[in-house]
Amino acid sequence: MQIQVNTDHNIHGHEELATDVTGIVTSALSRLSDHITRVEVHLSDEDSNKKHGKDEIRCVMEVRLESHQPIAITQHAATVHQAVESAAEKLTRLLENTLGRLHDQQSHRTDPPLPEEKITEESSAASSPDE
């Protein structure tokens, strides 16, 4: 699982921050890491012009699962650490639900799988022109 951390110009301490964020994300998603190829974390200070504001830090996490579309969540908090932890928890719940639904769909399929011979015959018949 690859983790990439991006910040805007208002959030400082990128190298140390990236290490902390990577640790939080790795810990939160460790049980699901077999299904995850990459996690992108985007941190920004939405109220950078104001001295203090409620929930001014925004954390967007995007997860890329094997053979599926990316999944993204957004979380706001007063500090970077709170935003990252809350986003990681939210993302973990979302992924557990998503992967659970996908597993249920696969286990409840009613159509039998095609035998290998039939797949080969159908693909070769489709490629040969009829006269």
What is the per-residue pLDDT across 82-117, written as a single tens digit (0 to 9) for each? 999 999 999 999 998 888 777 666 665 566 666 665
Q: What is the pLDDT of residue 89?
A: 96
When pLDDT is cut at 50, 70 and 90, the band that residue 131 belongs to is: very low
CATH class of 2-107: alpha beta
Reading the block at residue 18, the tokens are 């990236």
Q: What is the pTM of this model?
A: 0.72
Closest among 110, 46, 29, 43 to 82, alpha carbons compared: 43
Q: Is 112:49 a contact under the CB 8 Å cutoff?
A: no
Q: What is the pLDDT of residue 68?
A: 82
Q: What is the pLDDT of residue 53?
A: 56
With a CB cutoff of 8 Å and minimum separation 6, the contacts of 27 are 88
Longest Cα–Cα distance of the chain, Å, equals 78
Q: What is the pLDDT of residue 104?
A: 62
Instruction: Report whether pLDDT(10) > 90.
Output: no
Q: What is the pLDDT of residue 129?
A: 55
pLDDT per position as a tens digit, 13-54: 778 999 999 999 999 999 988 889 999 999 999 876 665 556
